[in-house]
Homo-oligomer: A and B are copies of this chain.
Amino acid sequence: MARGSVDMNLLFTLGEVQRLVRAYADKQAARYGITRAQWAVLAKVERSEGLKQSELAELMEMQPITLTRLIDKLCDHGWIERRGDDTDRRVNRLYLRKAARPLLGKLAGLRSELTATALEGINPADAHRLLAQLETIKENVRNAIQNAAGEAPRKEQHYG
């Protein structure tokens, strides 16, 4: 019964929540001329400059091509830049530009506001547990995708 009613709702509720949160965050971020998706990329670059695009895509659970487009926009605005790698000419590494600084300050404040709004009525301990459970789900699904991908392999297999 308990599991049954979770069955009924978890998958689709997650989608509905994300849809609402996305709409709200996008609308607020638009005040600063940035979208939520671009903001997420910028925040990761802030936290660790010098990442390769491929590394960042993996961090963000996103396909490289999706990231490429977002980086294009961030570069157009002059907030970050691509720099070639010294030893591997295929690689772009990502760095903040000075123009991003004032924006980053405003976005930090906005993030606190949005989080506080979303979590109203949920105490900090519960909020923490919620976040931990979301991370657990993320790991579970990541593993499931990995396993499914290896299910019908070709040459790596050695049972033949």
The residues of A with any CB-CB pair to B shorter than 8 Å are 2-3, 5-25, 27, 36, 40, 43, 60-62, 111-112, 114-115, 117-122, 124-131, 133-138, 140-142, 144-145, 148
Select A7's contact among B112, B134, B138, beta carbons within 8 Å: B112
Please name all residues of chain B whose beta carbon is closer than 8 Å to the beta carbon of A12 when the two chains form the complex: 40, 43
Report the Cα distance A120→B18, complex, angstroms: 21
- Are B117 and A144 touching (Cβ within 8 A)? yes
Copies in the complex: 2
**Contact indicator B130/A118 (Cβ below 8 Å):** no
Q: Is the CB of A136 within 8 A of B121?
A: yes
Q: A2-B127, A126-B129 are in contact. List 19 more A-B contacts (CB 8 A).
A: A2-B124, A3-B124, A6-B115, A6-B124, A7-B111, A8-B111, A10-B115, A10-B131, A11-B36, A11-B111, A14-B17, A14-B21, A14-B134, A15-B18, A19-B61, A19-B62, A21-B137, A118-B141, A126-B133
A9 to chain B, nearest CB (A): 6
Whole-angstrom distance between the Cβ of A135 and the nearest chain B Cβ: 7
